[in-house]
Amino acid sequence: MIHHYHVHSEDEETFSLDFEIQADATFAQLQDMLIETLHFDPASIGMFYLCDDRWQEIGQVASRDFFESDRGTQYDIDRTRLEELMDETGARLRYLYDAFEDRYLSLQLVKIHSGSLPTPRIISIEGKRPRQISPDEFVGGLDSVIPSGDTTSGLMDEAFDDDLFNADELSSDSFSILDEE
């Protein structure tokens, strides 16, 4: 059996993707196809959320290392096959592709038909592809945050500027020290 999915993104309204994949493929194989097609970072954490007909999350498909206890029923991404959970037209998934910005792709199973495919097949891809935020972009760029060798003390001096901190203003009355025995 072959599954035909339609994918859209809330962040890139012009984006749409239609593809076919074997119904007996694992969710890990589906993830690999999305990563390759959309040029996502394969090292990024990605997971699927099973959804009801109103896109409310009812279960999770992820690596066992990343299960979230409050996300309903949980399935292993490497062992669970699409046909086990996506067994009728209209079934819905959300794929977390950008954990830094909490961004998702929405996938809907639009057709199931007989046949076989040696590899997933892209039917169409349109619009601007959603992109992941890199760790450098998320934190403002590592170069701007991590100082080079000699500037570390400069950051400390800046953090504890003499104008902001005056040791003479401290009173021993406001501190208590407990003796440990």
pLDDT at 117 over 50: yes
- Predicted local confidence at residue 102, as pLDDT: 86
Domain boundary, last residue among 110, 131, 152:
131
- Predicted local confidence at residue 164, as pLDDT: 52
Question: Degrees (nearest 5) of the Cα angle 37, 113, 120?
Answer: 20
142 and 72 in a common domain: no
15 and 71 in a common domain: yes
Q: Report the alpha-carbon distance of residue 1 to residue 36 in Å, rounded.
A: 23
- Predicted local confidence at residue 137, as pLDDT: 58
What H or E segment, with its residue span, contains residue 113?
Answer: strand 103-113
pTM for the whole structure: 0.71
What's the domain range around 14?
2-131
49-89 residue pLDDT tens: 999 999 999 999 988 666 566 656 889 999 999 999 999 99
If one compares 149 and 37, the residue with the highest pLDDT of the two is: 37
In a domain, 16, yes or no: yes
Residue 92, domain CATH: 3.10.290.30
66 and 116 in a common domain: yes
Question: Degrees (nearest 5) of the Cα angle 25, 37, 49?
Answer: 55
148 and 73 in a common domain: no
In a domain, 89, yes or no: yes
Q: What percent of the chain has pLDDT over 90?
A: 55
Please enumerate in sequence order all residues whose Cβ is within 8 A of that of 127, keeping only pairs 6 or more positions apart, or say none: 12, 13, 14, 15, 16
